[in-house]
A = this chain, B = another copy of it.
Amino acid sequence: MFLYRPAGIVTAVSRPARARDSVLEAYERLLIDEGPRHATLEATAAAAGVSKGGLLYHFASKEALDAGLLGRMEQLARTDLDEMSAAPGGLVAAFLRTSVMDDSPIDRALVAGSKLAQAGSHAAVDALRRVRELWADALRPHTRDETAVQLVLLVSDGLYFNNALGTGAVPGPVPEGAEMDALIALVERAASA
């Protein structure tokens, strides 16, 4: 996959870097760094190095652009979950650890999707609900009961919410390092099966 290659850089792959991917990446970056209000078609096109018309060839409308971003988000969530399931130390710990923003593709996609949802996109709300259900199904076998599933999901939601608030400028009030380790240990003790 070549989804995260910076715009304009052509590498020795079977197909040239597609403008479509550049556009999605630029749109995501604008949503996270500048907010949904500034993530316009024109700004996205400029950041991706194409014209507005060029962008609209690949995504016929802003709704289609949103759908492209959200589809990619859901796909990343699925593959990310597969990788987590194989991680050592239990799924609960792995899940919470990846819930803190580390600029990974899935984190960025989720924050961008959250911004879209709060801005009023129904498609984004639906997509986030589906991802949350995916997580719940994966966590359920590793937790004590349904209340424990909710606890883990809510702590994860809280981490994402705080990460989505910070625009990258000031570090948020989210635990880091040893603090995060302690939090994970606390949640695991309360929720793990």
In the complex, what distance in Å separates the CA atom of A151 from the CA atom of B174?
10
The answer to whether A36 and B120 touch (CB under 8 A), given A125-B165, A186-B190, is: yes
Residues of chain B contacted by A167 (CB below 8 angstroms): 120, 122, 125
- CB of A106 to closest CB in B, whole Å: 17
Binary CB contact string for chain A from 140 to 179 against chain B (1 if under 8 A, 0 otherwise): 0000001110110111111111101111000001010001
Q: Tell me if A120 and B182 are in contact (CB < 8 A).
A: no
Are B186 and A36 in touch, CB under 8 angstroms? no
A173:B129 contact, CB within 8 angstroms = yes
Chain B hits for A15, CB < 8 A: none
Are B151 and A186 closer than 8 Å at their CB atoms?
Answer: yes
Asked if A120 and B190 sit within 8 Å, CB to CB, the answer is: no
- A119 & B37 in contact (Cβ 8 Å cutoff): yes
This chain: copies in complex: 2
A118 pairs with B119, CB closer than 8 A: yes
CB distance from A123 to the nearest CB of B (A): 12
A34 at the A/B interface (Cβ < 8 Å)? Answer: yes
A133 to B183 alpha-carbon distance, docked (Å): 18
Report B-chain residues with C-beta under 8 Å of the C-beta of A187: 151, 190
9 nearest CB pairs, A to B: A35-B120, A154-B158, A118-B118, A157-B158, A161-B161, A158-B158, A190-B190, A147-B182, A37-B120
Identify 7 new A-B residue pairs, CB closer than 8 A, beyond the known A115-B118, A132-B173, A153-B158. Answer: A38-B120, A129-B173, A147-B186, A150-B175, A151-B186, A157-B161, A160-B161
